Amino acid sequence: MDRTATAAKKILVTGAGGFIAGHLVKALQSQGHRIRAVDIKPLGEWYQTLPDAENLVMDLREKQNCYRAVEGCEETFNLAADMGGMGFIETHKAACMLSVLINTHLLMAAKDNGVKRYFYSSSACVYNAEKQTDPRNPGLRESDAYPALAEDGYGWEKLFSERMCRHFREDFGLVTRVARYHNVYGPYGTYDGGREKAPAAICRKVIEARRSGKREIVIWGDGEQTRSFMYIDDCIKGTLDIMNSGIEEPINLGSSEMVSINRLVDIVEEIAGVRLQRKYDPEAPKGVRGRNSENSLIRKCLNWEPSTPLRIGMRKTFEWIEGEIGKR
């Protein structure tokens, strides 16, 4: 059932000071909804602050804050988590696990306050690591999350929180929707500081190398590990479509255009018009060997899948990051 044309609603978006949720707030506002945007970061550190939203700074690991956040809201999009790229999640496992408090307390608050629909942003990190040892990964189907062998820390938190959503739906009748995001990138996101993911990190490294004249780049691992990367516009469309659908089980939301990290560097070099000497760091965090999104289910359920070509999305991302670095 398509619910996108329904009347304006009061909607809670958590993690709103971050990358994906900031774009989501903007999209929901454009549909005429009233948004309560919540993040733990001070407002001055939010990537996007929408003036017409009710912008609140709260730590949603605290139960009472979750109840305050959902009060009066018909729907909740939970995108709040303590997370980052591979360099962060491999070295902050406990911090990532503590995000389970956010989803636990929000689900309780949503149930008790009569929230009609609840969206949870999960991750491809829930997938069994033994199915991700080959760079030529054929694509991870939703069933490949079990038997469970998720990314230590962050992936286990996501998988456990998926199960909580399922059981709140089955036991309490709360309508829950879960999307497994695959490596989202685009403007208005983290590109330095240690939490950035590969597309933004590579853009920054190439820009800095070109500006400094030191024509070299450090690549984590051997660069042959593979991933698929989804542009933010596709992520937002998929998020809204999944929320408004009848899809009850977790579903992939990611591009199926798989590339190696070396090829991703090629693309950014071509955008920047430079060629850099590559230095490889085999001791750096590098994650699984191969990961890709298998999109049969989302095509079947929604007659759609993320489709922005990587080169186009990376050019937009590169130009935004270049502009931000230039402002400094």
The catalytic residues are: 154
Distances (CA, A) of 57 to 18, 22, 264, 281: 12, 14, 36, 38
Of 3, 2, 50, the C-alpha closest to 29 is 50
- From the list 80, 99, 197, the residue with the least C-alpha distance to 157 is 99
Q: What angle do CA 11, 14, 17 make, to 5 degrees?
A: 115
Report the DSSP pairing between strands 277-281 and 230-231: unpaired
Question: 108 with 167: CB under 8 angstroms?
Answer: no
Tokens of 241: 């479509």
Answer whether the bond into residue 147 is a cis peptide, omega within 30°: yes
Measured between alpha carbons, how far is 15 from 13 in angstroms, rounded to an integer?
7
Cα dist from 104 to 58, 67, 300, whole Å: 16, 11, 31
Nearest to 98 by CA among 19, 158, 46: 158
